[in-house]
A = this chain, B = another copy of it.
Amino acid sequence: MKIGVVGTGAIGSFYGAKLAHGGRDVHFLLKSGFEKVKRSGIRIRGKKENFHVAGVQGYKTADAIGPCDLVLIALKATNNEALLQLIPPLLHQRTILLTLQNGLGNEDFLAQHFGDDRVMGGLCFICLNRISPGLIEHLDYGHLTIGEFIGSPKSRTRALAREFQQSSVVCRVVDNLMEERWGKLVWNIPFNGLTIAAGGITTEDILRDDSLHSAALVLMNEVIEGANSCGYNLPREVAVEYMKRTETMGAYKPSTLLDFEAGRALEVEAIWGEPLRRAQANGTAMPRLEQLYALLKSLNARRK
């Protein structure tokens, strides 16, 4: 199986390196980090694992990679337009596109331009930090949840999960990918959003402040209602469970906050805008999300 990786931030570098380290035939599309990664490879370092991939198959263009059986897509969703140029050279008739991007709308974008059938999605539950091109710090977690964009899991879905599992990535196949995405947003919408809008605070700061704790909880419930108005079936207990899990995280800064503080673009539409629009299209007002989205869009446009 020939695998292409588009987007070599933390996520693309990590899962690509895991597959390459597991003996898969992985081809990385590299931009600014090309020279360094060709020379020094990719290093994953962390408490649980520490490994190095030498002789990385790196390329400056998608044409140089050519058609793949699987393409991992890990670009920022804000750069999706670039995929219109990057993906076509990587396609043959049965190429699978697996988006590891955040939020809603990325599978739809790929399906619209490259066909429903080839699109799959993955949710990454992982804390990573990209120190420099080819140097990734693995802080915590690491499992992947994958599913089909259209319909239930097929034999190819399970086969893909095995590819990851054989490269020592815990990978689970889910029946309803979009329900999983909404489920993840129940956490991401409040915690990624409020840590930014409240002035650059940690998840712990939210939990310790009565008003922010309450704001996070009611926003979680709003997202659950929004999801369910779109036909999903998220139990209300999800919010309470997430709160408990957040309590174990300590003074955590979500990656979007780190992005924001570093002046990088936020995936405002994928994480906040698209869920809002979908719930509204189904007749559900999401007053808190609507306000938070407006604020984040403004903050994002004015980030330093």
Interface residues of A (CB under 8 A from B): 194, 197-201, 205, 209, 211-212, 214-215, 218-219, 222, 287-288, 290-295, 297-299, 302
Contacts and interface: CB of A to CB of B under 8 A. Distances in A.
Nearest to A190: B291
Given A201-B302, A212-B295, 20 more contacts: A197-B295, A198-B295, A199-B298, A199-B299, A205-B298, A211-B293, A211-B294, A212-B294, A212-B297, A214-B290, A215-B290, A215-B291, A218-B287, A218-B290, A218-B291, A219-B291, A222-B287, A287-B288, A288-B288, A291-B292
One complex includes copies of this chain to the number of 2
Nearest to A218: B287
Contacts of A197: 197, 295
B214 A294 contact: yes
Contacts of A205: 298
Nearest to A296: B198
A209 B298 contact: yes
A194 B294 CA distance: 9
Contact of A209 (B211, B214, B294): B294
A288 B197 CA distance: 14
Contacts of A201: 298, 302
B198 A298 contact: yes
Contact of A288 (B198, B200, B209, B291): B291
A291 B206 CA distance: 12
